[in-house]
Structures are given as C-alpha cells and as structure tokens.
Chain A
Amino acid sequence: NAGVTQTPKFRVLKTGQSMTLLCAQDMNHEYMYWYRQDPGMGLRLIHYSVGEGTTAKGEVPDGYNVSRLKKQNFLLGLESAAPSQTSVYFCASRASHYLPYEQYFGPGTRLTVT
C-alpha cells in the first residue's frame, strides 16, 4: 500500500496562475481532506469530501475548489493563485468508521506563489 500520495511535491506559481494538486489514496477510504499548514498556525481545513461525488467547505475555503470524481482521488484547484496561498498543503483520508481524527496524511505539497 502506498497510503496517501500527493502530486506534485513542490511548485512555484506566479500570481494569477492556476494549478491543481492531486491526492490519491489506495486504502478505499470514504473521507478525504485538504489542509494547509502555515508557520505559527495549526493545520486548517480547506475542503473535505465524505464520498465520491461529494465535497464540502472547511474552515478556509476561499480561493480553492475541489473535486472528487473517483473515490481514490481528491483534487484541489487554485484558479488564480495569490501570495497568501503560499503554504504547505496536506491531503488526508480516513475510513468512515474511524474516529474523525484518525486520518492518514500525505507527505505534503509545498507551494510558493510569487
């Protein structure tokens, strides 16, 4: 099992550019999450999904969109990147019968917006 994988690992964007971060999990988990991690702050939930074809907003959804067309994949899109979106992005997944915090995290994507 590869667990949770994220693509790419690093990316530099110019302000206004767009990109998509890909998260894939091979554990057949129903729930998937996107977080951002910034210095001096805890992980903050951007969007999440409780199953294929469903998405919901988290704590900081503005400027991001997500899609869950397949159960194993959760995509995070930035339509027009801003410097404030410079961060490390983590994807996570869990099975529906796990407790909410029993999440498996990917290795992260470091995004810099100049």
Chain B
Amino acid sequence: GESVGLHLPTLSVQEGDNSIINCAYSNSASDYFIWYKQESGKGPQFIIDIRSNMDKRQGQRVTVLLNKTVKHLSLQIAATQPGDSAVYFCAENSGGYQKVTFGIGTKLQVIP
C-alpha cells in the first residue's frame, strides 16, 4: 500500500453498490497476495488470497484482481452491506515462511 501519512484513505459507498479497494504492492517476487478485513476494535481477519500465477479469484461477494504488470491488486465487494464497514488492507507473501508484508489499509464506509 502507499504511504498516506497518519490518515487512512477512505472510500464511502452507498449500501447496495459495489466497492473497489485498491492496493499497490512492492515486491514482484511475491508469490501470494492477500486481503484482510479489520473491524473497529478487532484484529485483522483473512478474506481472500490469490496466487501470483492467477489474475482473478472469486469468493463469496468478493473478487480479487491481480495486475502484475503494474503491481496492482484490487478487492471488489459486490452489493456492499453495512457489515462491510471496516479497514481493508492488502498483504504480500514473498517467500520465506515468515515474510508477510502488510499494507496500510483503506477505510470503507457504507452509507445506509
């Protein structure tokens, strides 16, 4: 993720609309890319991952897109619900079994 100082970038979407959260990663050698959700006052929760040899992966209401050419990762949430309000951050796993690098995150606000 990009550094934006002390303030998280915020995305506000209307309930029922689709949300797209973006992330730029740094290591072209990373073999997995991951999205986490962190609700206020809670720890991060794994949402979905994608292997570096894929460009799209779908889960339940979520889709992750990977563009290795520009080192870009996105998370699409379909029919956004109030319960989706949280901070979402990407991470990359670059080999070595402990090396997971976490991004800063984007705050998603769902407007009822």
Contact = CB atoms under 8 A, between A and B. Distances in A.
Given A41-B104, A42-B102, A103 B3 contact: no
Interface in B37-70: 41-46, 49
Contacts of B104: 40-42
Contacts of A45: 98, 100
Nearest to B1: A42
The DSSP consensus for interface residues of chain A is: loop
Interface residues of A, number: 22
B79 to A, nearest CB: 26
A19 interface: no
A56 B43 CA distance: 22
Could you say which of A43, A56, A108 has the most chain B C-beta atoms within 10 Å of its C-beta? Answer: A43
B89 interface: yes
Contacts of B46: 101-103
Contacts of A101: 32, 34, 46, 49, 91, 93, 100
